[in-house]
Structure 1
Amino acid sequence: MSAPIQTRHPCPPGACDCGREQLADGPERRILLLTREEEKRLLARLENLKDLDDLRHLQQRLFEQLGIRVHIGPGLNEVRTMRGIAIELEPQPGLCRKTRQSIPAAIRRGLERNPQVAFRLLDAHDLLRDA
């Protein structure tokens, strides 16, 4: 006998604007498979980036498995620190407010831990071509 699939517990009323109740049955409900334990594993994985290919791979897996689109690139202003790198998640029903904040923070910590990834990211956008 197989165990039932665990889904994320609903947020307290008024504490989140995730729109969980608007989700219909179908592929958009896959975001609910991100339980708190799985979220902790995901954040730890995002903090331990190895290289730019690893970051791109994680972006692709987030979209394939959960439908989360993450856009990472240089911000509009000058990039002097990791805060200058823009990390944005596309709006998605069912994605908790705290998760929308913690994913970019974990990526930023991973970039701070391994600055070579940030340099490769900036180089991929031709910001370091003259350096």
Structure 2
Amino acid sequence: MPEPLPFPIRKECPPGACICGRDELLADPHADIRALRLTREEEKRLIARIEGITSYADLMHVADLMRAQLGIVLRIAPRANEVRTVRGLSIRLDEQPGLCRKIRQSVPAAVRRCLERSPDIVYAILNAHDLLTDAGSASDAG
């Protein structure tokens, strides 16, 4: 019987409902199982935390914490087409064993809701990708 883990982990999904690979991760003694620490209760707390974000710095801080504590990589970038709304941003989690399909959907959705409420964060994201650097100088010239 496998050794019990020193922390609670996410309960297994119904058969066929997810492709997280939870059982394979638990069977491999060298696997990175940090993503499994995101139980349903912890997921709710994370979603609430994301939805409460009010600045770009706070969003980056939460993304850094997700990477450090859970091994989850959040990517937010402008899509190839023109960005007119929050829908023009690509918000996704990198593929990772142990990351439940529900989390792959709920975290980006929470980020999108946060960005819809805080357009300043969207502008900061665009600026971080050098999409607004010319816009400021063009408006100053007129």
**What TM-score do the two structures reach when normalised by structure 2?**
0.85
Gap regions ≥5 residues in structure 1: none
Structure 2 distance, partners of 1:121, 1:86, is 11
Relative contact order: is structure 1 or structure 2 higher (C-alpha 8 Å, sep ≥ 6)? 1
Q: Does 1:8 align with 2:10?
A: yes
Gap regions ≥5 residues in structure 2: 1-5, 136-142
Tell me which moved more, 55-64 or 18-27: 18-27
- Matches for 1:1-131 after TM superposition, within 5 Å: 5-23=7-25, 24-26=28-30, 28-131=32-135
Alpha-carbon spacing, 1:113–1:26, altered in 2? closer, same or farther (3 Å):
farther
Shift of 1:25: 3.0
After superposition, the C-alpha distances for 1:37-58 in whole angstroms (9 at most, x for unaligned) are: 1100101111111211111111
Bigger Cα Rg: 2
- The one-letter code sitting in structure 2 at the alignment partner of 1:17 is I
SS at match of 1:62: helix
After superposition, the C-alpha distances for 1:58-91 in whole angstroms (9 at most, x for unaligned) are: 1110010000011111111110110101112111
Superposition RMSD in Å: 1.2
